[in-house]
Structure 1
Amino acid sequence: MLQIAQIREHKEAFATALKKRNIDAMPLLEKAISIDENRRSLQTQLDETLAQSNQLSKQIGGLFKSGKTEEANQLKEQTADLKTKSKSLGDELNQAVEELQQLLYNIPNIPQESVPAGNSDEDNEVVSQHGDIPQLHTDAQPHWELVKKYDIIDFELGNKITGAGFPVYKNKGARLQRALINYFLDKNTAAGYQEMQVPHLVNEASGYGTGQLPDKEGQMYHVGNDDLYLIPTAEVPITNIYRGDLLEEKDLPIAMTGYTPCFRREAGSYGSDVRGLNRLHQFDKVEILRIEHPDNSDGALDAMVVHVKEILEELELPYRILRLCGGDLGFTSSLTYDFEVYSTAQEKWLEVSSVSNFKTFQANRLKLRYRNADKGTELAHTLNGSALALPRILAGILENYQTEDGINIPKVLIPYCGFDKID
């Protein structure tokens, strides 16, 4: 969430920057300033009214002590009027505060200068490409055929139990899934990320804290009776560990990782892009998150990108890195790098990770601050990334490592799997 003080100071610059998202934000920014001016005026009136009421109360006490009952009662009538006025001003003030809050909740983060302009994922900037695309045998198949052939993932069984988008992993498919999770966690903890196990449901405050609400409310599964949400990513519960906290500067950075299942309704998704593991309603993901000093967050983002690169290189999968354009940038992000693995059997790139810097956007929602010895309390910066999302990584492995007599396992995963081939 943007800070109203910054909006007032940088209105023109913010409006220009938000044009990269293809948004004419000036009306929203001006409305926010107008509501805030009204809020400040109401606050001043309320403070003055309360001060006047307090002053009269002191006078009334003195008059009663002096035996001037009639004068005291006359002033009491004035204080009654002031109390009525105070209540009315307080109600108006609360309404203005809520109106401003809801408006700010719906203004996206400011893209960094390096974010390219663009309308959709077709305008994302390819930063680099790595690895050789393998040459497959003539009868190579996409992963949704391979999993049936080797009986390792059952989409129909998942459909029977729950519905489309909830696959059942079986036999070596389940073991490979578990191996990937353990491998990702080991890589992350070795790099200094503290492992966390967190709830898979969150309350509304947590959803607002990281920006999933109200932006993605329709994409989240909601448990109505308890007013809880199934998490779309571990980012939500892990980042909210520090909601409302005041950290010491010496405590930064804080680096965390966690494995969770993720739940997304993916309403409106259809076509070849959702086939097999390409898009699911429930999937597994290992996340990395950082809380950083503002001076260090850009460098931390670069380090996270390098970390994900190392994992993909150890898996020996062909991949590329994209810098997302303004039109494809997530609501809360100021800068995002996407990682895509090439699916040789599908002849397309599959997104497997997004690594983002949110600057103070989430921290302002979370009221996540640190104590700066020179400047007092300041908002921290938050970052997160997938290291990694499993479905499309698994699809990439199955398709790129397939041979005529089975599917080889990447060397780095063999110790975790206990087998070197699916046949």
Structure 2
Amino acid sequence: MSSTTQEPSPETGDAPGLPARRLAAVVIDEVLRARVALDETLERLLPASGLDAADAALARAIAITAFRRLGTIRQALDERLDRGSPRHSGLFEPILTAAAAQILFLDVPDHAAVDLAIRQLHEDPRSARYTALGNALLRRLARERETVLREAQADPFRDVPEWLADSWSSAYGDEAARAIALSHREEPPLDISVQSDAAGWAEKLDGILLPTGSVRLRGRQSITALPGFSEGQWWVQDAAAALPVRLISPAPGERIADLCAAPGGKTAQLAAAGAQVTALDRSAPRLKRLKANLDRLGLEARIVTADAATWTDEPFDAVLLDAPCSATGTIRRHPDVAWTKTEEDRDRLGALQARLLDAAAALVAPGGRLVYCTCSLEPQEGESQVEAFLERHPQFRRSPVSAHEIGDLAAGIDAHGDLRTLPHQLPGETPRLSGWAGFYASRLIRL
């Protein structure tokens, strides 16, 4: 491993790649301290960073990788710190976490990862005194990389907080829980929903037509540069996230409410089917993005900024409630979720989900459908919510999902006839092209 020092960039005075590493360390620190979403933090910090597209992509890759393998990284660093991480050390931990992500999991020369981390430690007044410690630690980590990776591979739950590992084992069994944990280590696939001719778009985009009708892209190209994007022929949407609308089975002209609608993938599905859609969300900025997406797609919906827990209207033929949740089913795409959400968050959100379900029920016309869904793997936010709802609302009953509604993927249906997808399901050509988000959905009929 070389310790060659990189020459400063003539434009900025920085070594090449240093600004990207600075941003990655700051993002890691802010996400963990404030427990704010990684995407939200990047969206806030990137504009002021001055990074070009390549450096912005590098900063994002480092941060995402750090959270995807945070358990492995933390254990590897802790085991090599005789006295533990120094206290009151500023950005010491996030800088080393970002560097470890590069050394262990990214295609970055060891000397670049180490040298640029040391520069960052020098820059931070509270970390500067620990520069020698950081240098020795990262160099040792690079020497012992294969040992770290071998030990991590033998422990599927190393990158999962204990409460989540226990929850998944209790809900789905140890074998499935291990498979879920391992699937979260893989880069997620990118799926799209198309307005029409899914097979044709799969061929045009070098994609895979999934049994559910979604198209999975093999490549990693810029989405906005792909054929059909600017023409509004398709939109990005995880294959599992597209299933709840299939349970609605929207018909042309039906009045359908999409509650908690942003970012709008399900709204687009409903509108593309010809339904008269009311898209409601309490966040005006998120609805602005929803409207922009609908405009690109040439689709229309009535857009309402309101709290779904208190909003009222005339009864609808169908109501879709994609309730706020812990989002643990999206950890593969948003690995920070595993480290920013807690059991307390899950339980607090459970009370909100119950209120939203009660409000949604009041909007369903007699004989109408209510589909409740969450992108959570936690039964407290899915199965348990529906059981409690049915006790409170005897005028509703389940309408079980049939396998042919979801591409004959019977593994995605639980014993009650509800949709329950798990991240390790849906095998594909490669690990990256396999799996989908963890989703729960129940279809309920008002008698």
Q: What is the TM-score when the length of structure 2 is the normalising length?
A: 0.25
Greater relative contact order (CA < 8 Å, ≥ 6 in sequence) = 1
Q: What is the TM-score when the length of structure 1 is the normalising length?
A: 0.26
Larger radius of gyration: 1
- Greater fraction strand: 1
